[in-house]
Each structure stands twice: as C-alpha cells, then as structure tokens.
Structure 1
C-alpha cells in the first residue's frame, strides 16, 4: 500500500513542478498523480523520488559519485511527453526506460508501449515492476538504445529518456509518416527538448524548450581526430 506521505509528495510534485510548467495535458497530470514514482527508484532514493531533479537509479560499480542512469526530472519529463502529442491509439517506443517509470506513464496515454532498455539489470527491474502493477499494454525489451526496436515498429511516437548528442537516422526511420520523436538534444554547451516529425521521406526538426538530463548510452557523437 502506498503511504500517505508518498501520496502527499506526489500531489505536491504535480502542483509545484508540473502544473506551473505549461503542462496542460490532463492525461499526463492524472498519470503522474496516480503512478507511485517511489516504487521505481532504489530503496535509498525513495525519500528523493519527488524532488525537482533527476533521481539516480543506477550507480557505477566503482563507487563513483556520478549516476550512470537516472529518472528524468519530473517537469522535464512531463513537458517532453507532452511535446510528443501521444494519443490513445498510438504505438510508442520508450527508449531508455530504466526502471520503467516512464513506460508506466506512457502506458496511461498510448494504446501500446514498447519499453527498450540496454542494461539487463534495469530491464529485469522494469519488467518486474510493470508486471506487478498490471501494465498489460507495456512490453519491456532489451537491446542497444540507439538501434531502437524495429521489430515492433513503425511507431507513432518515440521518446528518448535522456540527453543525446545525435539521433541516428535508423531510429528516426522507425517512425510512421506523421510520427514524432522527442529527445533532449545537446548542442555544444546547451541542451534543449527537440521534436522531430516524419513527413514522408523527410524529417522536420523543431526546438521547443531548454531542458537537461543525464546522457543516454549510445548517443554520443563519434570523436573527430585532427592533426
């Protein structure tokens, strides 16, 4: 059973972080009010589940301070999902689902969600948590994040759950005509939420708002060596 404290924190998160940030899609607000975010973070992080920041869900084995994977800050996540314009009939690819919180929210908005995770431990955790909470329209799959999951495509929407330096054409190509891909895109020192929309054989790109997140593995630009 969810504790009263967690329920209060969840309401406070929505009222202080989500609603004031131009998130007007009531389905997103309702999902984030109802889904217990604290269940998707490690035990030590549960008191921080609703802070206005990223929450680490995996630390490196050598004990370094920087988290290797995190849940996005609630306001940035909510705004990114809203940017994707997900409808109830959509098939959505959630890239880098980590422990499954993002897939749980998307599962409230779309008809079907394919939750892709590269780390076997995180994929197992996400599968178990989503199964326990009866998200029958969400399937957790394993694979390289930058490769997407073409077996279940094409998709109406693709959501990248972290910061990237590039978006491979092979991932964009998994969109249906009119499909949308959203990500936090790093350009030099700045990062912004960006929307790509497929228009036949071309892709329209639009910057939406400033945002920040931990990098997703596999999306760094190749190093360029010069003499």
Structure 2
C-alpha cells in the first residue's frame, strides 16, 4: 500500500504544504502511485526551475510560460508542463538506474532533473539557446551532475549519443518520429504526446528486436515541439 508522501505533522512551511497538496491533489489522482516517483517530487524542487515571475504558480495545475510573452511561449512550446503530466510520464516510463536517457525539449530543465534522479545519464536537447542556458543554470543550481543540456534541434540535427534506453519528447508531435525510434536500444522505451488538438494521447513505444509495441494509456493536450513533420490529420 502506498502511504502519503508526508504527514500533516511534517508540514509547517507554506511551500511544503503547497508541494504536499500538489502531490496529493493533482499527481496521485492521476494514477502516479509509485512511492519512489512521489518522493522524488519533494527531492527535485519544482520551484527552483520556475521563472521568477511565476514562482507563485510553481505548484498549480497549469502550464508555466518560459517566455515573457505567454502566448508566444505556448505557440513555440516554451512551457513547463503541468506537474501531473511530467509525473505521469516519468511514472509510466519506469526509468531504471542503468538507463541512458534522451530528452527532446529541455525547457526549464525540470523533467531532465527528474529523469536524472532515476537514470544513469540524461542528454536533453533544447532548440532555443536562451532556454538551453536557463536549463543548464537550473540543473547546476539543483546539483544535478548527470544531465547535460545541448542547444540542438531534436527534429533536424544529428543525435550522436545513441542508442538510448529511454527517449522522452517533452512536447507534442503529430506522429512518433521514426528517426528517434531508430535510436532505441533493444528493450528501450519512448514516451511522447502524439496527435492533434483537441485530442492527443500519451504514447509509449517499446522496442523488442525489430518490433515496436505501442500503447496509448491516457489523454493529454501539450504544445508542439518545433520542426517535426506535420502530416494532415485527415485521411481520405
């Protein structure tokens, strides 16, 4: 049986109360029940990755812009996803201590920090140079040493570090990129948000030899990653 992350006696600080409420009211109801994942949400402090202007929203069930222009941030996919979305993705990928992980879309570095706490090594690509530096600073500040942020386009640039045990797309795509599936090690898993508004699905692909097994266990809407192909959603 999974016990709550903290007891009420442990919570004296308003920030810790807000963190506790985030876990118990947003994340646990989204079927994130692994005690290790839940504990990690206290160890990796989300507020340390949030832009100063949005500190008050660090624990809310909302996307946080990483660009001063909120509409532009949404259009360019420059956001921190809702805490429950990051947590459920981490939970369902079942990252292991020996895993080498690739993330597409570093953003603030928060997901890279969560992944790094479970994995051996994380390489996170970020297309925007200012965000790449922001993510690096946040990871350094959090003492994360096994995650590297590179300024690169995950859709168009070569990725020389494969194969990987886990690949995470921290933004949505119209379809799972074949380029990234080719970088999976045998037994490796890819997690992505796939589809078109208003309906996208969290999509998980596991490689078994030359076979790829796909599941889509939950619905979500997430801003786009840039430069990945956009096939028409309409079929004739």
Q: TM-score with structure 2 length normalisation?
A: 0.86
Secondary structure in 1 aligned to 2:194?
A: strand
The question of 1:184 aligning with 2:193 is answered yes
Mark the CA change 1:187 to 1:213 in structure 2 (over 3 Å): closer, same or farther: closer
The CA deviation string for residues 152-185 of structure 1, in whole angstroms up to 9 with x for no partner, is: 2111001111121122211111110111001111
Mark the CA change 1:31 to 1:147 in structure 2 (over 3 Å): closer, same or farther: farther
1:16 to 17, 25, 41: 25
Match of 1:204 in 2: 213
- Are the counterparts in 1 of residues 174 and 231 from structure 2 also a CA contact under 8 Å? no
The question of 1:144 aligning with 2:144 is answered no
Q: What is the distance in 1 between the residues matched to 2:72 and 2:18?
A: 26
Q: What is the distance in 2 between the residues matched to 1:208 and 1:148?
A: 30
Q: Which runs of 5+ in 2 are unaligned?
A: 1-11
Q: Which runs of 5+ in 1 are unaligned?
A: none
C-alpha RMSD over aligned residues = 2.1
- Are the counterparts in 2 of residues 17 and 75 from structure 1 also a CA contact under 8 Å? yes
Q: What is the distance in 2 between the residues matched to 1:187 and 1:137?
A: 34
- Are the counterparts in 2 of residues 113 and 139 from structure 1 also a CA contact under 8 Å? yes
Match of 2:41 in 1: 32
Q: What is the distance in 2 between the residues matched to 1:157 and 1:148?
A: 19
Q: How many residues align?
A: 220
Match of 2:5 in 1: none
Match of 2:7 in 1: none
Match of 1:84 in 2: 93
- Are the counterparts in 2 of residues 99 and 126 from structure 1 also a CA contact under 8 Å? yes
Q: TM-score with structure 1 length normalisation?
A: 0.89
How far is 1:198 from its partner?
1.1
